[in-house]
Structure 1
C-alpha cells in the first residue's frame, strides 16, 4: 500500500514538473509549440514500455520537439552561447589523473546491485593499463570542483542526484579528460583502441532513435576526450552551470544532450570533432533485451561480433533460469 501510494505521489510530481516545463517553454516559443513538446514526451514514455517502437508519426513529433527545444535554449541563453570564449586557455591538468576511466556509484560498489558490480568488473577486465576510478559520495571532491551554490541547491532539493551525476561527468572530462562510462555498461572487449585512439569519442549509431536530439550520433553515458580536447567539455559544463544558476527545475530530462548539440552549433571545431567520431557499438542496446532469455552462444557471438559495450539497467529484475536453463543474466552474474 505504501509503495503504491509512493508511486502515485511520484507520478503526480512528474506530471507537475512537465506542466511547469511546458509553461516555461511556452514563454520563449509559443503554447502550440510547447504543447507539442509535451506530446512528444508522452511518446517517449510510451516507447519506454513498448520496446522503443518508433513509427513515422512519432519520429516526426520527436524531431519537431528537438527543434522547439533548441529554439527555447537559443532564445533564453543565446547571448551566453554567442559570447562564450571556446578558445580560452585551459588550466593545467593533473598528470596523475589524465587518461583515467571514470564510473560512478554514489553509495559505493559494496552497496551496488549485483549487475552493476559485474558491469564495473567487466570494465576493469578490459581497461588494459588504465586505472578505473569509481566515484562515490565519499571521494568525488578529490577529483572535481563542484561550486558551493550547486551543493546548496542540491541540499534544497532543487538539483537532483541525477543532475549532479551529469555535472560530475562533464567536470571530470573538463578537468582531466579520459573516458566516462555509466556503471551499467557491460564491456566484452578492450577499451584502449576503441575509446582512446581518437581525441574525442562517444558511442555512435547514426540515426538510431530520436528520443534524444543526439539521435545516435553521440551518447551522454559514454564520453571520452584527450587532455587537449577538454575545452569541449568545459564549454558544455559551463552551459550546464549557467542553466542551473538561472533555473530551479529541469526543462527536459535529456537536457545535457541539447547542451552538447548547442556546443557543436556554436563552435565549428566542436562540431567537426563530434562529426569525426566513427560509428561504433551498433548493438549497444541489444543484450539488455535478451537478459531474461535462455543463454544462446550463437546469439551472444552475433551480438559481440561488432559490439563490445552493452548498456544494461539495474532498475529491472531478470530471471536466472528460463525453461530450466541458464539465462543471459545468469551467465553475466557468473562473469561467464
Structure 2
C-alpha cells in the first residue's frame, strides 16, 4: 500500500510539473510551441510502452520538441562571461584523485541490487591501475562542494538525487577529470583507451532514435583529461544557473539540452565534444536480450567492438528459460565474459 501511495504521489508531482513546464514555455515563447513540447513528451511515453518504436509522426513531433526546447534555453540561459570561464580554468587538480573512475550509488553499493553490484564488479575488474570510487550520500561532500542554497533545495526534495547526480558527474570531472560511468554499465574489456582521449563519452552517430544528443554523447558516460576539465565546469555552471532560479525540472532531458547550450555558446566546449570518437556501437543491445537464452555466438559478436553495455536495475530478468541459462543468468553467475 505504501508503495502504491508513493507511486501515485510521484505521478501526481510529475503531472503538475509537466503542466507547469508547458505554461512556462508558453510564457517565454508561445502557446503553440508549448503544446508541441507537451505532445512530444506524450510521444516519448508512448515509445516506452510500444517497445521504443519511433514511427514517422513521432519522429516529427520529437524533432519539433527539441527545436522548441533549444529555443527556450537560448532565451533563458545567459552565456557565461569570459571572466567566469577564466576562473573555472584555474581550478587546481588534486593529484590524489587524478584519472579515477567515478560511480554513484547514493545508498552505498552494499544496498544496491544484484545487477548493480555485478556491473560495478565488472568495472573494477577492467579498471587497470585506476581507482574506482563509489560516491554515496555519506561521502560526496569529501569530493565536491555544492552551494548551500543547492543543498537546501536537495533537503526540501526540490532537487532529487537524480538531479544531484547530474551535477555530481560534472563537478567531479571538472575538479579531477577521469571517467564517470553510471552504476549499471557492464564492462567486458579494458577501459584504458578512454583515459587516453581528451574528452570521452559513448558516441554512436548512427543512433536510430531522435534524441537531443543525436548519439554524439551520452550523459551516463563522460570522461576527460585534466586539460579539459573546464569543459565540464562550464556545463556544471549552466546547471547551477538553472537550479538557482527554478524549483522544478522543465524537461526530463534538460541536462542534454544544457550540454547542447554550452556547445552553442562556447566554441571550446563544442570543439572538445567534436574530439569524441565513435565507440561502443552495441552499447544498448545486451539489455534488449538480457532475459533471453544465452547464445555464445551472439555474445561474441556483440562484444567484438563494444566494452560497455548499458543495463538497468529497474526491470526483472529470468535466470533461466525452459532450463536454459539466460544472458542475465550468466551475468549474475559471473560467467558473462
TM-score, length-scaled by structure 1: 0.96
Range with greater deviation from structure 2 (178-187 or 80-89): 80-89
Q: C-alpha offsets along residues 184-205 of structure 1, whole Å, 9 cap, x if unaligned?
A: 0000011001x11111000001
Q: Which residue is 2:186 aligned to?
A: 186
Quick check: 1:206 aligned with 2:193? no
User: Aligned in 2, Cα 1:137/1:9: closer, same or farther, shift over 3 Å?
Assistant: closer
CA drift at 1:224 = 0.2
Q: Distance in 1 between matches of 2:166 and 2:62?
A: 22
User: Aligned in 2, Cα 1:210/1:33: closer, same or farther, shift over 3 Å?
Assistant: farther
Q: Which residue is 2:23 aligned to?
A: 23
Q: Equivalences for 1:20-59 in 2 at 5 Å?
A: 20-59=20-59
Q: Which residue is 1:72 aligned to?
A: 72
Q: Which residue is 1:10 aligned to?
A: 10
Q: Distance in 1 between matches of 2:222 and 2:210?
A: 19
Give the total of aligned pairs.
334
Q: Distance in 2 between matches of 1:29 and 1:259?
A: 18
Q: Equivalences for 1:1-336 in 2 at 5 Å?
A: 1-78=1-78, 80-81=79-80, 85-88=84-87, 89-193=89-193, 195-210=194-209, 212-336=211-335
Q: C-alpha offsets along residues 278-336 of structure 1, whole Å, 9 cap, x if unaligned?
A: 11111111100111111110110111111110000001111111121111001000111
Q: Distance in 2 between matches of 1:246 and 1:272?
A: 29
CA drift at 1:5 = 4.2
Q: C-alpha offsets along residues 100-154 of structure 1, whole Å, 9 cap, x if unaligned?
A: 0000111111100000000000000111111100001111111111111111011
User: Aligned in 2, Cα 1:114/1:62: closer, same or farther, shift over 3 Å?
Assistant: same
User: Aligned in 2, Cα 1:81/1:67: closer, same or farther, shift over 3 Å?
Assistant: farther
Q: Distance in 2 between matches of 1:243 and 1:23?
A: 17
User: Where in structure 1 are there 5+ consecutive unaligned residues?
Assistant: none
Q: C-alpha offsets along residues 235-276 of structure 1, whole Å, 9 cap, x if unaligned?
A: 000111011001111101111111111111111121122122
User: Where in structure 2 are there 5+ consecutive unaligned residues?
Assistant: none
Q: Secondary structure at the match of 2:317?
A: coil
Q: Secondary structure at the match of 2:77?
A: helix
User: Aligned in 2, Cα 1:207/1:31: closer, same or farther, shift over 3 Å?
Assistant: farther
Q: Is the 8 A contact 1:63 1:210 kept in 2?
A: no
Q: Distance in 2 between matches of 1:102 and 1:2?
A: 33
Q: Distance in 2 between matches of 1:5 and 1:122?
A: 36
RMSD over aligned CA atoms reads 1.5
Q: Is the 8 A contact 2:231 2:272 kept in 1?
A: no
TM-score, length-scaled by structure 2: 0.95
CA drift at 1:226 = 0.6
Q: Distance in 1 between matches of 2:85 and 2:279?
A: 28
